[in-house]
Structure 1
Amino acid sequence: MPPPHDGIALCEKLQSLFLEWKIESKLFSVTLDNASANNVCVDYLRNQLNLRRALLCEGQFFHIRCTAHIVNLIVQEGMKEIDVSISKIRESIKYVKGSQARKQKFLDCVKQSCLESKRGLRQDVPTRWNSTFIMLESALYYRRAFQQLELGDSNFKTCPVNSEWERVEKISTFLKPFYDITKVISGTKYPTANLYFPCISTAYATLKHELIEGPDYIKQMCRRMIAKFEKYWHDFSVILAIAVILDPRYKFAFVEWCYKRLYVGDYVFEVKKVKDSLFSLFSNYASNNVNVPANVSERRNSECTNSSSTVINSQFLQNFDSFEEEVEMPKKFELEMYLDEPKIDRKIELDILHFWKANQYRFPEVSAMARDVLCIPISTVASESAFSNSGRILDQYRSALKHDIVEALVCSKDWLYGDKGAVFFKLLLMHVHFL
């Protein structure tokens, strides 16, 4: 796309693509990072689509912020209160990796400490907090080796003392939930949106707990992180909550349980906001009269045809029909019926898309809503990784590859690393071998 890359230009480009692909009436959400141009683009796009009534709930859930980007911003904010002990860890690793002789001396210390040398030390990148976490994890494993090196090398001056090692261990434990969240969000083989609310709420609860119970250096990190967290939490908490409600292992009880612990006295208002948004979204699907699949309708019709028409058309049962018209019986929505059913055991492995496919006949409207909500990409990591794949193939050392060779490399890697593709690729190689 030629410049300028401002919000209005992006909006016009997207609109032209939507028209070309004929999907402007099929949009539910768009996931973007926090660039200012993206915000302008989404606002213009939402207004344009609302004029055509192409969005559900007037685009309330149209703009989804990249959760991975938000988590990164939150933790980076906390890492500004970096502890002196972490700086010592960083300098210690730099010292060990400074020369081959030091590396060998450190390996000798590793052997003397009866530790596994294959794990290795990890140097962090200051702009990537998760690399700092990995660095701390590796340093904690080799703690005894560092202490052994300090005894045998008088030039090694940056080894943390015992109290500093303990602080590093607590900081590492504190960052672990956020690292796990980043791994979940960055996954590509389990993209359904129901997975994220338990992770994010766990991180929020961790911040709240450590702000009260943690040591001073953790509290300083928490204050910064909570301020950044709450800035974005209200933007994406509702849609994440709706997604987890559509998971039969959690449903509404889990959201209510989480909010009781996160908001204490104000949780009733937050729970009501989620419930109102859920039923408001569902009303769009209920008003559209989602049809039962054709094969089910045909089966039901055939059953009716085979039934005795004499009984069905009897005067006695016709009187019942008129009674139903006079007395309006309270009717439960599909969504209420789904929520009233017992939850599935939380610990079982559940393919949630298969679950809703299997239950589309019982809950056609709820399953239609689940289909749209669960497929919301909460993170842009997977798509960005796909688009940056070419950079891992065409580098400065092999930049003259022809397009067919690049295509073959991409496909071969996909076949090799794919679950079913690996088998296919092996069969293909066997076929070529026999030829």
Structure 2
Amino acid sequence: ICKDLRPYSSVENEGFRALIAECEPRYTIPTRRFITETAVPRLYDEVKRHVIDSISKASRVAITCDGWTSRATQSYVTLTCHFISENWEMLSYVLQTRVLFGSHSGHNVGELLLEVFEEWGLTAKEPVLVTDNASNMVIAAEHAKLLHVRCFAHTLNLAAQRALKTTAVGRLLGKIRHIVTFFRKSALASQVLQEKQKLLNLPKHKLMNDVPTRWNSAFDMVERFLEQQPAICATLLSAEVRKNAKELWTMSDTDLTNAEDVAKTLRPLKVATLVMSEEKTPTVSIIAPLQAQLCQGSAEQPDDSGIVKEVKRALAQDLGKRYSNKSFLQMASALDPRFKALPFLTEGGRDDIFAAVGREAAELSEVREHEEHEGEHEGQTQPPPCKKSCALSDLFGETFSTELEQASQPSPITQAMIEVNAYRATEPLELSADPLNWWRKHEGVFPLLSNLARNTLCVPGTSVAAERIFSTAGDIVTAERSVIKPAHVDQLLFLNKNLKMYQRK
């Protein structure tokens, strides 16, 4: 029921009961009420305790948050939690799926976040909030006093949508969409298309239509159209299709060239979206270099066609105005051994970022040292033993011992800058390598920087983790289960996503 999202009523189905009776006639199948009110809640409580215990060991967490609407038109907000474990493994949990009553104002969402932080013990973990670019999410982060990172996948979607809405691209997509719709509605045309694909030795792929809310669906539609263009042209020119078609649109050579140019220009955004959707490797460190790379690639060239210039102009204008708080993103890139060269910054800019990294690492070290001392004092039941006295110690007091101690233990900021210089001198990591594995091996060499890296690289660059819950939720709140209670939706989503981690313990 939890792993496969089978309805609670499965235990009452005639076929299921017959199967169990055949496998083990002596087994008594639990009732639907027992599953709903006892078994699932009990398992939920067990897994929740495990999740809270796992999160308690994290030094910092990141939260992704997004809203969705069920078939019963109830508004839900789902939150996921991400952090890096002590052995440098990226861990992710679904925390909660709550119904949000009233308006989705930034204040209401912010209050919800504070309640969830309190319930799951996240308040002291300095949570970082990752959401889309919606204004209510920005206000919610300000209300909860959280560092806010905007989802880069959503940012790419906004930039690409702006490019797709330019006049020339809109007209081109309209022509392709008209032809694709004709093939999807005509069984005869689809059959002839398959024959032409076989004759021309083309992949037997179906034509794709676009979805307004997903720019990459328009890109996929154009790419598939270009891939199948020889078969499409042959089909539209065949006598049997022309005889049964009331109207057929054809693409001129200029249209085809424009389609190829648009696909080529937007392809880096599609690759970037796929890269940012990873959940097991750090992605926040990719945002700054990727944004710089895309902005550079959007610069107009003298030999660009008119439609390409329109697309690049729209992309450059939209991407250039995003991410006002670039210092955190650039620090994240500096702490990723793949991108620590920071080639998108000037030499002075690189020095400033690494100076900020050193200060942050030193401050984090001082905070942790202070917390450890407080913990020692709280756990101390007896006064510390008195130091043995001697004539020299009575004469000189702490003068020489203090000087020796200071000489042997540099200040946190000095130690941090020593580590920063040594870190910058190391060879950059290959782009295909795992930065967390690198930090696992070098944690002893860079103790201060590694602590800061663990606190920074745990932040996902997108809110994709929360958005992926929507498809799972659609398997729970179906038309047949539209009256399922919100508490059961929360339990099933939580268990479906977290059971695997719980069973690994």
Fold match, TM over 0.5? Answer: yes
For 1:385-431, what per-residue CA distance to the aligned partner results, in whole angstroms no more than 9, with x for missing partners? 1255221233114557899999889978988xx8999xx9xxxxxxx
Distance 1:414 1:12, change over 3 A: closer
Structure 2 regions of 5+ residues with no counterpart? 1-99, 373-399
Query: Which one has a larger percent helix, Structure 1 or Structure 2?
Result: 1
The corresponding residue for 1:301 is: none
Contact kept? 1:186, 1:381, Cα under 8 Å:
yes
Report if aligned partners of 2:332, 2:457 keep a CA contact under 8 Å in 1: yes
Equivalent-residue separation in structure 1 for 2:116 and 2:489 (angstroms)? 29
Match of 2:148 in 1: 63
Shift of the 273–33 alpha-carbon distance from structure 1 to 2, 3 Å rule, reads farther
Letter of the 1:80 counterpart: K
1:196-248 residue CA offsets vs partner (Å, 9 max, x unmatched)? 4443333222112x45552221111222221111111433x433322222222
Tell me the equivalent position of 2:318.
228
Q: How many residues align?
A: 365
> Residue 340 and residue 41 in structure 1: after superposition, are their counterparts in 2 closer, same or farther (change >3 A)?
closer
Deviation at 1:66, TM superposition (A): 1.3
**TM-score, normalised via structure 2 length:** 0.63
Is 2:109–2:140's contact at 8 Å kept on the other side of the alignment? Answer: yes
Q: Which has the higher contact order (CA 8 A, sep 6+)?
A: 2
| Cα offsets for 1:51-97 (capped at 9, x unmatched) | xxxxxxxx6xx111111111111111111114233322111111111
Mark the CA change 1:38 to 1:356 in structure 2 (over 3 Å): closer, same or farther. same
1:123–1:135 Cα contact (<8 Å) kept: yes
Q: Match of 1:371?
A: 454
User: What is the root-mean-square deviation in Å for CA atoms of aligned residues?
Assistant: 3.7
Displacement after TM superposition at 1:371 (Å): 0.4
> What is the CA distance between 1:270 and its match in structure 2?
4.8
2:206 to 114, 120, 123: 120
CA distance in 1, matches of 2:155, 2:357: 24
| Secondary structure of the corresponding residue to residue 173 of structure 1 | helix
Cα 1:279/1:186, change in 2 over 3 Å: same
> What is the alpha-carbon distance in structure 2 between the residues aligned to residue 388 and residue 194 of structure 1?
27
Partner residue of 1:44 out of 143, 168, 175: 143
- The letter of the residue matching 2:258 is R
Aligned 1:5-20 pairs, distance under 5 A: 5-20=104-119
**Equivalent residue of 2:331, what SS?**
helix
Q: What is aligned with 2:298?
A: 207
| CA distance in structure 1 between the partners assigned to 2:236 and 2:203 by the alignment | 19
Matching residue of 1:101: 188
Question: Is the CA contact 2:331–2:357 (under 8 Å) kept in the aligned structure 1?
Answer: yes
Match of 2:272 among 175, 181, 191: 181
Residues 355-393 of structure 1 show CA distances to partners (whole Å, capped at 9, x for unaligned) of 223322222211110001100122111122125522123
SS state at 2:175 partner: helix
- Separation in 1 of the partners of 2:282 and 2:465? 9
For 1:41 and 1:409, locate their aligned partners in 2 and report how far apart those are by CA, in whole Å.
Answer: 24
CA separation of 1:281 and 1:419: change in aligned 2, threshold 3 A: closer
Residue among 97, 121, 137 paired with 1:22: 121
What amino acid sits opposite 1:339 in the alignment? Answer: Y
Question: Which residue pairs with 2:423 in the alignment?
Answer: 339
Give the distance between the partners of 1:22 and 1:413, measured in 2 at CA.
20
Distance in 2, matches of 1:381 and 1:323, equals: 49
Correspondence 1:149 to 2:149? no
In the TM superposition, residue 338 of structure 1 has moved relative to its aligned partner by 3.8
Amino acid in the other structure paired with 2:151:
C
Give the Cα separation in 1 of the matches to 2:496 and 2:285: 32
Asked whether the equivalents of residues 477 and 489 of structure 2 are also in contact (C-alpha less than 8 Å), the reply is no
Is the contact between residue 29 and residue 64 of structure 1 (CA under 8 Å) also seen in structure 2? Answer: yes
Displacement of 1:182 in angstroms is 1.2
Residue aligning to 1:305: none
Q: Which amino acid aligns with 1:214?
A: D
**Is 2:324 aligned against 1:239?**
no
Alpha-carbon separation, structure 1, partners of 2:467 and 2:349: 33
CA contact 1:89–1:136 (8 Å) conserved in 2: yes
Match of 1:2 among 96, 101, 119: 101
Between Structure 1 and Structure 2, which shows a larger proportion of strand residues?
2
Q: What is the one-letter code of the residue matched to 1:96?
A: F
How far off its partner does 1:100 sit?
0.7
In the alignment, does 2:262 pair up with 1:171?
A: yes
CA distance in 2, matches of 1:225, 1:282: 36
What is the CA–CA distance in structure 1 between the aligned matches of 2:132 and 2:449, rounded to whole Å? 29
Q: Identify which of 362, 366, 369 aligns with 1:283.
A: 362
Answer yes or no: is the 8 Å Cα contact 1:90–1:123 preserved in 2: yes
Q: 2:472 aligns with which of 389, 413, 433?
A: 389
